[in-house]
Amino acid sequence: MDLSHILLLGIAGVAAGAVNAIAGGGSLITFPSLIATGLPSVAANVTNSVSVFPGYVSSVAGSRADLAGQGRRVRAVLPAAALGTLAGCVLLLSTPGRVFEVVVPFLVLGAAATLAFQERLRGLVGHPRAMSARRAAVTVQAVVFVGAVYGGYFGAALGVMYVAALALVLDEPLKRINALKNVLSATVGLVTLLVFALFADVRWDAVAVLAPATVVGGYAGARLARRLPGKVLKWVIVTFGTAIGLLLLYRAFA
């Protein structure tokens, strides 16, 4: 890598760490940046997955106040997150990616729309308070598992998807759901790091630049997210998720 590549990845890493903490979707900054340095798409994808993990961890640290009282919930969903991520990694390493590239934009746009019309959808599926404890627990596990499969496979806008889906099934303020999203994203990131480090073509020189930058951005973004009013945070996530979905749609069919 030359100096211009190092500067590009450093700036992209800080921006992506902040975006991941606030809304999710920072990989749509780092992934194209890795492509711009000359990496093939698969190598860029796995390198990106490894690089953003430290930023997820710093996001957890930055939002730890909003995790208070959620310890039992976190412990209950971590196995589903780990197993789902492992399944997604296996899919990435063993199957062609074209079909998923076509599906991903619609998943992201659907997630943004779900969050935007959250109250109307609650009228259809029922408010979380109306769910039985068993139904709520099973639904949360399913949401976490499916999201983790996506995260292991590609991961861009994982945070948008998690916030949108969890907001439908958890009776919690958006700040606390965002904090839970940060823990789940960090879990997905840890599993992808372990799998890709062992079985994929990770470019470690790029990781050495991106990873520290995502830590700085992730912590700063998480602190900012805690100060945003719930409605503002919601529409930041919806707007960014929609933009990511449209960008992915363009890339898939361009």
Do the Cβ atoms of 57 and 218 come closer than 8 Å?
A: yes
Distance of CA 104 to the CA centre of its chain: 13
Q: Residue 5 pLDDT > 90, yes or no?
A: yes
Distance of CA 205 to the CA centre of its chain: 23
Burial tier of 198 (Cβ tally within 10 Å: 0-12, 13-18, 19+):
exposed
Question: Domain boundaries in the chain?
Answer: 3-253
Mean pLDDT of 67-83: 96
d(CA 65, CA 57) in angstroms, rounded, equals: 14
pLDDT digits (tens, 9 = 90+) for 142-188: 999 999 998 998 877 788 888 888 988 898 998 899 999 999 999 99
Residue of higher predicted confidence among 110 and 140: 140
d(CA 24, CA 218) in angstroms, rounded, equals: 10
